[in-house]
Structure 1
C-alpha cells in the first residue's frame, strides 16, 4: 500500500479509503492542533476494514455458526435408517448384518 499501486498496476483496492483518511486529516487538523483527528475515526476504521476485513470475517463466522445451529436443531427429511447405515446402502445385505451382529 505504500506506493498506492495494486497488483495489476492500477490503484490498490484500499487507495480510495486512504485518500478519504488523508482528506479528513487535512480538513480537520493543523500543524498546531491535532484535536480534529477524533473526527476522522470512522473514516480510518473503514480504511482498516478494507485492509484487514475483520468485521467481514466476524460476520461470516456468526452466519456460519447460526447456520450450523439451525442445521443441528432441525430433523433431516431423508435421514438414513440404522439398517441403511449398517449396509452402506447395499441391497439384500441383511444376512451380512446379522452375521456381523452375531445373530
Structure 2
C-alpha cells in the first residue's frame, strides 16, 4: 500500500479497486488553489472502508473504497473558502464532508 513518487505510482491495490483519489468535483477547485500558490494535502484518518452513500456502492460504477482523510487547505485567497463551500453544497458527497481551512 505504498506509493512510489519517483515512478508516479498511485495507491490502488486494495481489492483491485482504486483508492486515494480526490472527488472529481473537488479536483478543479484544488488545482486552482495550487495554481495560485496554495497547498492541498490529505491526512489519512482511518482504514479504507467499502464505499457507502453518498458515494456509489462498492459494486456500482464509480464505487470502491473510501479512504477517510482530512484535506488540509492553505490558500492565499479568501474567496477559495466560498468556492469550495459552494461545490460541497452541490455534490452528493458534500453532505459527508466538512470544510476547515487554514
Give the TM-score normalised by structure 1: 0.27
Larger radius of gyration: 1
Indicate the structure whose relative CO is greater, using CA pairs within 8 Å and at least 6 residues apart.
2
**Structure with the bigger percentage of helix:** 1
